[in-house]
Amino acid sequence: MVVLEAEHADSWETLVSECFVPLRCARFEPAFSGRMEHTPLDDSLSVSLATSSGHCSERTERLAARAAGDDLHISLQRSSTGTVSQGGRSASVRPGSVVVYATDRPYYVDYSRPGQQQLLVQVSRSSLGLPERMVEAATDRLAVPGGQQEAAVHNLFSYVATLPDGAGPPLVADVTRDLARVMVRTSFGDGPVVPRTSGGLRHTIREFLRAHATMPGLDIDHVARSHFVSRRRLYQVFEQVGLTPAAFLRSERLRVAARLLTDASVAARTVEQVAYASGFDDVGTFTRAFRREHGCTPREWRARERAVRAS
């Protein structure tokens, strides 16, 4: 990761042009400042977190005509609001909105309100291996329906927000590109789309288990069916990182249980109620799993945490 700071307008224009594509910036907030956390993953893919005061950026016709690549920007608005315009269309963005636009065509981004932050994936569209008509339709539409609330969108941006330590850039690039491909296809209702890479599938299933850990009756067979893979394949992708899907699901349920045991708003719940609310089928299994994880029973955990808060 490269971290770059800009304390005035001119340096911000230079900074964003070097990280993305050449742009013209204007309408800066007084006392402008900006910060770019830029991670190139390979020659056709990068991830950036841009935080700035208010400003506007334009990819002019002249600049777009000299484009050397076919990159797409897939941008998640994390804070403040704005507008993205391309090809005679505009999309209003707010926190959680996601837009897709092309760098080889003119575009205009109005981020003039203060407190801007965008998480952005820049990727060569030809590297995604998608039908050109689908990519064209995505850029024509600009805004991705549902934004960050859609599972495939969440999977992409939850992955790039905390790029995994220990994995080499080529592997991370493959997973990021895979999740971006799935996001575009899924946003068109193109039927079930499963990540091709083991890392992409593993991340997708982890996010599914985090979101559905407390679902009654959730088991590994249900998870496999929901992702259109065999049970064998499911275990295989987790074994590559020394885990099992069952162990991961159990740890997520225990994480929920630990929170519920110390949540003042639900303090009246019994240990048995917490067990069922966390997704466990019986209190005995829950208590044994909790003791193995934390070295104490749920009741002891609750008493200890209350004592810490009272001190």
Q: Find the mean pLDDT for residues 213-230.
A: 91
Confidence of residue 266 (pLDDT cuts 50, 70, 90): low
Confidence of residue 267 (pLDDT cuts 50, 70, 90): low
Does position 191 have pLDDT exceeding 80, yes or no? no
Q: Find the mean pLDDT for residues 163-172.
A: 79
Kindly report, as residue ranges, where domains of CATH 1.10.10.60 are found in the chain: 202-311
Does position 254 have pLDDT exceeding 70, yes or no? yes
In DSSP notation, 249-296 reads HHHHHHHHHHHHHH-GGGTT--HHHHHHHTT-S-HHHHHHHHHHHHSS
**pLDDT value, residue 176:** 97
CATH code given to domain 202-311: 1.10.10.60
Confidence of residue 186 (pLDDT cuts 50, 70, 90): confident
- Whether pTM > 0.85 for this model: the answer is yes
Kindly report, as residue ranges, where domains of CATH 2.60.120.10 are found in the chain: 2-148
Q: Find the mean pLDDT for residues 167-186.
A: 92
Does position 68 have pLDDT exceeding 80, yes or no? yes
Burial of 96 (0-12, 13-18, 19+ CB in 10 A): middle
Confidence of residue 23 (pLDDT cuts 50, 70, 90): very high
**pLDDT value, residue 37:** 95
Confidence of residue 112 (pLDDT cuts 50, 70, 90): very high
Homologous superfamily assigned to 2-148: Jelly Rolls (2.60.120.10)
3-state secondary structure of 218: coil
